[in-house]
Amino acid sequence: MNAGNQHDHRSEQIRKLFHSYGSLMYQIAFSILKQAQNAEDAVQETLLKMIEKADKLPFDNPDAMRAYIFVMTRNTALDLRRRMQHQISADMNAEENQITLLPAESDAAVYEAHELADMIRKLPQNEQQLLWMRFWERLTYKEIAAQLRISEEAANSRVRRTLAHLKKIYEGDTDAEQ
């Protein structure tokens, strides 16, 4: 089989794998990322990696292939989640840098803004994400609920609990910190 035909053959095998395992891949990614669009991105990224490594995949061994797909999808989703968390942190740093650049702000206001950013960093990542969505992205509880696939009431409760957690950190409760 020449190189062109072999590539076409591997691409066809990956297409068949997606039809057979696409749902499983999505479930794995969604269980980690908790958002439909992000899970779809992880599946797509996994498929691209599989195409790149097609010549090394165990197509002739269904059990090994299923295990490979599981591990590869899980690792891709975890990598995507880490990149997203890093992006939230980078966005927070950018916002904090913008605070310093505001000419009309007093030194005390700038100091307080930096203190607040430090306190927010002490929260777990999921709570930081909630505050980011609610106050920086200005999402409604309904929009947050849709992204997290929870009820609007649950989104409201989580934001309230996160604010209560942040308040404990503000008040100096060292048990409230991670």
Name the residue ranges covered by the structural domains of the chain: 3-83, 102-176
Distance, CA of 148 to CA of 130 (rounded, Å): 10
Cβ-defined contacts of 2-11 (< 8 Å, 24+): 6/55, 7/54, 10/51, 10/54, 10/55, 10/57, 11/51, 11/54
Cβ neighbourhood burial of 4 (10 Å; 0-12, 13-18, 19+): exposed
Compare 161 and 98 and report the one with higher pLDDT: 161
Q: Which of 31-45, 81-95, 128-142, 144-158 has the lowest mean pLDDT?
A: 81-95
Q: What is the DSSP letter of 90?
A: H
pLDDT at 153: 92
State which fold the 102-176 domain adopts: Arc Repressor Mutant, subunit A (1.10.10)
Q: Please determine, for residue 105, whether its predicted confidence score (pLDDT) is greater than 60.
A: no
Pick the CATH number of 3-83 from 1.10.760.10, 3.40.50.2000, 1.10.1740.10, 3.40.50.720: 1.10.1740.10
Cα 23 versus chain centre, distance: 19
Helix (H) or strand (E) holding 130: helix 125-131
In the predicted structure, residue 63 carries a pLDDT above the cut 60: yes
- Across 138-143, average pLDDT: 89
Q: Which residue has the higher pLDDT, 82 or 61?
A: 61
